[in-house]
């Protein structure tokens, strides 16, 4: 398990990286997984990482599991690495934006 100071820093980094609310992320996961004929059940919509991020957003810091912490590190690393590659988000870069939105980060939101 992570020590308290490291967990505090991770909590802050995660909530800085995830700039979508739980409601926005849940809606995005449903929309991104829907097709012309059906929309998945909310608890089954989106990729597993996105669902895990959504679950973390609904938790208190004291309720985090080791799996939650691993996903938080993964999300922070993903968002940070993407920001290092491209400083200026472009609206036409929808594949990149949609990939990041699936883990709770909208690059067009500053």
Average pLDDT, rounded, for the chain: 84
**Which whole number is the average pLDDT over 41-69?**
87
Does the pLDDT at position 89 exceed 70?
no
Answering whether pTM is above 0.85, one says: no
Distances (CA, A) of 22 to 41, 53, 87: 16, 9, 25
Beta-strand runs (E) in 26-104: none
Q: What are phi and psi of 50, to 5 degrees?
A: -60, -40
Q: What is the pLDDT of residue 30?
A: 85
Mean pLDDT of 84-96: 65
Output the CA–CA distances (angstroms, integers) from residue 36 to 41, 46, 91, 95, 102, in the order listed: 15, 16, 24, 19, 20
């Amino acid at each position: 398990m992570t020590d308290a100071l490291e967990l505090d820093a991770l909590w802050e980094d995660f909530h800085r990286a995830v700039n979508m609310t739980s409601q926005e992320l849940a809606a995005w996961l449903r929309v991104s997984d829907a097709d012309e004929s059906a929309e998945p059940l909310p608890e089954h919509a989106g990729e597993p990482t996105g669902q895990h991020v959504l679950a973390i957003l609904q938790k208190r810091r004291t309720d985090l599991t080791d799996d939650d912490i691993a996903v938080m590190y993964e999300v922070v690393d993903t968002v940070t690495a993407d920001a290092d590659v491209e400083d200026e988000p472009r609206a036409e870069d929808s594949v990149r934006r949609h990939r990041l939105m699936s883990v709770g980060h909208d690059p067009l939101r500053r």
